[in-house]
Amino acid sequence: MFMEVKRTVRFLLQYFSANLQSAMEYRGAFISQIIFMFLNNLMLLFFWWVLFTKIDSLNGWSFQQILLLYALAAGAYAFQALFFAGSFSLSSTIAEGRLDFYLTMPRPVLFHVLVSRSSAAAWGDLAFALTIFIMAASPSPSMMLGFLALCLAGGFVSTSFSVLAHSLSFWLGNSVGLASQLTEALLSFSLYPEGIFSAVTRLVLYTLIPAGFVSYLPVRILSEFTLAHAALMAFFALSISLLARFVFYRGLQRYESGNLVVINAAD
């Protein structure tokens, strides 16, 4: 078991390193992507700052909690984009027959596709997440560890949700647009405070579009830690990961390949 985990982590890091090297081939683009992603995130936060200069709280949410929300959402997204960026283009990989390469390799197909890409811009998200978290919480080392663990769990949730959305391509054909809309919906909802939504919407956000597990619940865990919430978070992250895996492999049986000319280039 330990050896298997070690092998898997090594494999992930090899891909991560190859992606990083590939992105750094274009030094200017690499650095500017990171900087602009950081600034872009900061701009989004700027509007909340303007709002909170007029009000003290928004349905029970303070500006500090908004900062935590953004830090956690950006952290989860950064985790997905740095290690599992293959999830962003999974539907086109399926629809264009690009799974062939992964199917001829002796590695688990889903894991291999997910780790095969890494987004350079996500370094900007990671830097943003850490900066904002340090600013908002002045964390102790253990709190920092907790934050990273929650970003990791949130990243698993968003990656799994992407896999579920993009796997629709196995049944619907080319569903790149639909999958993008669903994954963007998850990201958008995870950047708004839970308090502004009605009970029905919240139910949707803890089930069908699980933004609640990407940012709302993690914010609650960081603000008022309870073991039950932490366990719920871990349980959901694990469950949706297993569900995504199950759905992907069911869909894979319907895979029909294709004859598109393909090159192996990082995004």
Partner 1 sequence: MAVIEVDGLCKVFRTKSKEPGLWGSLQAVLRPTYSEVTAVKGISFQVEEGELLAFIGPNGAGKSTTIKMLTGILNPTGGSAQVLGLVPWEARRQLAYNIGSVFGQKSQLWYHLPALDSFRLLASIYEIDTRVYKERLHRLVELFELEEFIKTPVRKLSLGQRMRCEIAASMLHKPKVIFLDEPTIGLDVVAKLKIRELIKRLNEEEKTTIFLTSHDAGDIEQLCRRVIVVNHGEIILDTTTSHLRHNYLTTKLVNVKFGAPCPSLSLTNVEILKHTEKGVKFRMNTKLTAVESVLTELFAQVKAEDISVEEPAMEVIIRDIYARPVQEGDQDAAG
Is 5 near partner 1 (CB under 8 A)?
no
226: left (phi over 0), alpha (psi -120 to 50) or beta: beta
Smaller CB distance to partner 1: residue 152 or 252?
Answer: 252
Residue bearing tokens 């291999």: 112
Closest CB to partner 1 among residues 16, 206? 16
Q: Tell me which of 5, 43, 50, 263 binds partner 1, using CB under 8 A.
A: 263
Please name the residue that has the structure tokens 């984009």.
Answer: 81
As measured in angstroms, the least distance from the Cβ of 260 to partner 1 is 8
Q: Which is nearer to partner 1, 12 or 204 (CB)?
A: 12
Q: Residues with Cβ < 8 Å from 91, sequence gap 6 or more? A: 165, 166, 167, 168, 169, 174, 175, 176, 179
Residue from 9, 51, 135, 262 in contact with partner 1 (CB under 8 A)? 262
3 vs 199, which CB is nearer to partner 1? 3
Query: What is each CA distance from 18 to 25, 121, 172, in whole angstroms?
Result: 11, 16, 33
Q: How far is the CB of 63 from partner 1 (least distance, A)?
A: 42
- Token pair 């992964």: residue: 102
Least CB distance to partner 1 at residue 5 (A): 14
Question: Could you tell me the smallest distance in angstroms from the CB atom of residue 100 to partner 1?
Answer: 5
43 vs 265, beta carbon nearer partner 1: 265
**Cα(186)–Cα(161) distance, integer angstroms:** 8
Figure out which of the listed residues 9, 14, 171, 235 binds partner 1, where binding follows CB under 8 A: 14
Specify the 3-state DSSP secondary structure of 157: helix
Query: Based on the number of CB atoms within 10 Å of its own CB, is 214 exposed (0-12), middle (13-18) or buried (19 or more)?
Result: buried
Taking CB under 8 A as the criterion, which residues in 17-56 touch partner 1?
18, 21-22, 25-26
> What residues from 115 to 174 belong to the interface with partner 1 (CB under 8 A)?
173
Q: Interface with partner 1 includes 266 (CB under 8 A)?
A: yes
C-beta of 125: minimal distance to partner 1 in Å?
22
227-256 residues near partner 1, rule: CB under 8 A? 253, 255-256
Rounded least distance, CB 212 to partner 1, Å: 34
Could you please report the per-residue DSSP string of 164-194?
HHHTTHHHHS--HHHHHHHHHHHHHHHTS-G
Output DSSP code: residue 26.
S
Q: Which two tokens stand for residue 158?
A: 């968003």
CA–CA dist 147, 153 (Å, integer): 10
Residue 188 interacting with partner 1 (CB under 8 A): no
User: What residues numbered 89-108 form the site for partner 1, per CB under 8 A?
Assistant: 98-101, 103-108
* Least CB distance to partner 1 at residue 184 (A): 24
Angle at which helix 122-137 crosses helix 63-83, to 10 degrees, equals 150
Binding stretches for partner 1 (CB under 8 A): 7, 10-11, 14-15, 18, 21-22, 25-26, 98-101, 103-108, 112, 173, 253, 255-257, 259-266
